[in-house]
Structure 1
Amino acid sequence: MHHENSNRFLTAFNDIEAELTDRMGRHKPGGFAQLLNMLRRHDAQIRLHYDTLRQFAKLRNAIVHSMREDFIIAEPHDEVVAEIERIRDQLAQPPIIADYMTQHPYHVPRHTTIAEVIATFRARNFQRCPIIGQEGICGLITAKSITTWIGSLLAHPDQDGKHLPLERIMGRTVDDVLPFCSSREYAIVPRNASIADAVYLFRRSIEHGRYLQSLLVTAEGTPQSALVGIVAPSDLPRLFTEDIDIED
């Protein structure tokens, strides 16, 4: 009896184990489970696939311990074989953020007026955009930060109890709003970061009780290098349709 699915499954599993061993470098633990547990601490791809790979390890043990010429206790289904081969291929050649980001994102210099930012947000249905200064990326202006800033102006009238007129508020610049722009609402990543890294950053922000509004993609992953793209929460469904598993 032929065990084509079992053979394909074992081939893919062995490829994955070899990939994980390579990622460990000189520090090679005793078995596959230890590989997973050690790599998940710092490897976003392994964290995403951790639960599935644990189950695959159990299936692998069932196959190798029962396989005989005419009998196998657990022949994998076609879907299982396709899944492990997909994970193997992703681990070997991880999809990167540059392939899915919005390129050449709208951004504003610090001297841009608030009126211009609001008009652009309204016209293009934006909620946020990067702020660029001479030093590179210096913040992320959002609808929330603009609202908070305006609220602070209204909460502190002048000595006569008068508020700034609307035209003067709109004439202020992004630089005035910058102190109200939280650095916790964005992260800067290099263009060759993996999709798994991107998903992990969004997930971690939620787990820590904050809302990551954007990943700002630069050529080298530093604020000083060129801004080349952006990934917003609205992009996540598109990332997930690329067969990236989100597992607890």
Structure 2
Amino acid sequence: MDKKNSERFLSAFIKIEAKLKEIVGNDVHKAFYQLVDRAAVKNPGIEKYRGLLKEYAELRNAIVHKRIEDEAIAEPHIKVVEDLEFICEMLTKPLTLENEFLQKVIKCSSYDKLSMATRKMFKNNFSKIPVYDSRKFAGLLTTDSIARWMAYNLESGVEFTEDVDVGTILEFSENKQSYTFISKTATVFETIDVFEQWYKKGLRLNAIIITESGDRNEPPLGILSLFDLPKLYERISK
């Protein structure tokens, strides 16, 4: 026999509440609304659904406390049930980067000639590639840094040469670091939050480089840019 909508709703709600208590730790005896607020500080996924969870808490109270002969006086709409079940799935089994965002990373060395590096960028339609020397991260080669190098040469009256190495171009990188690193086990929520936090600070984030544990000197397992944000958002939207 199929479960009633109210039963499915309450089942998902209970799982979400358990997840909230797991996140907040010592504050497990707080009211649901307080659990949501506390957990949202620690978990970007909870923050995304904070408003909806509080709305659904009101519906949960109506289902639990307003009953006739132990039957709910109203059944939630199937869309509401499915939405809450989706949120439950996203919070209890969050997607991580290793699920589908790992890929072969095209990279170069600071000793490589710029001509070779730009051919890689052109062939793969990249505006940036990471630079590694002896398996250690050396910087991020971007079309912006190449443009600044070209502008400097034009201003100085120096002829361009294909023999220039990537290391020279890195000297023309932006003054502020425009990249960061993240573990392959990071959730999609956490990754989106990184982009949003940089934006809120007025900082430009050219790339998030994925590694085994988020260490900059580990081999790159993937690279994300602002162009990947729509795909990230799609994975947490119903």
Q: Does 1:48 align with 2:42?
A: no
Q: Does 1:175 align with 2:175?
A: no
**Do the aligned partners of 1:102 and 1:231 also contact (CA within 8 Å) in 2?**
no
Structure 2 residue ranges without an equivalent (≥5): none
Q: CA deviation at 1:95?
A: 0.7
CA distance in 2, matches of 1:217, 1:14: 34
Provide the secondary structure at the position in 1 that maps to 2:89: helix
Deviates more, 1:4-13 or 1:43-52: 43-52
Q: CA deviation at 1:66?
A: 1.8
In structure 2, the partner of 1:187 is: 180
RMSD of the alignment, in Å?
2.3
How has the CA–CA distance of structure 1 residues 141 and 69 changed in structure 2, closer, same or farther, with 3 Å as cutoff? farther
RCO higher in structure (CA 8 A, sep ≥6): 1
CA distance in 1, matches of 2:74, 2:197: 36
Of residues 218, 222, 247, the one that matches 2:211 is 218
Write the deviation string for residues 101-121 of structure 1: whole angstroms up to 9, x where unpaired.
241110111112222222222
Amino acid of the structure 2 residue aligned with 1:194 = T
Q: Does 1:166 align with 2:157?
A: no
Provide the secondary structure at the position in 2 that maps to 1:26: helix
Q: CA deviation at 1:190?
A: 0.6
User: Which ranges of 4 or more aligned residues in structure 1 deviate by more than 3 Å?
Assistant: 69-74
Q: Does 1:206 align with 2:199?
A: yes
Q: Does 1:147 align with 2:134?
A: no
Provide the secondary structure at the position in 2 that maps to 1:25: helix
Write the deviation string for residues 29-61 of structure 1: whole angstroms up to 9, x where unpaired.
511111111121221221222222122122212
CA distance in 2, matches of 1:47, 1:89: 15
- How many pairs align? 236
**Do the aligned partners of 1:101 and 1:229 also contact (CA within 8 Å) in 2?**
yes
Deviates more, 1:100-109 or 1:130-139: 130-139
**Do the aligned partners of 1:98 and 1:229 also contact (CA within 8 Å) in 2?**
no
**Do the aligned partners of 2:135 and 2:218 also contact (CA within 8 Å) in 1?**
no
Q: CA deviation at 1:221?
A: 0.7
CA distance in 2, matches of 1:148, 1:53: 48
CA distance in 1, matches of 2:195, 2:167: 27
Amino acid of the structure 1 residue aligned with 2:33 = A
Write the deviation string for residues 159-195 of structure 1: whole angstroms up to 9, x where unpaired.
xxxx22122xx32122112233345422100111111
In structure 1, the partner of 2:88 is: 88
CA distance in 1, matches of 2:106, 2:170: 17
Amino acid of the structure 1 residue aligned with 2:136 = G
CA distance in 1, matches of 2:88, 2:220: 32
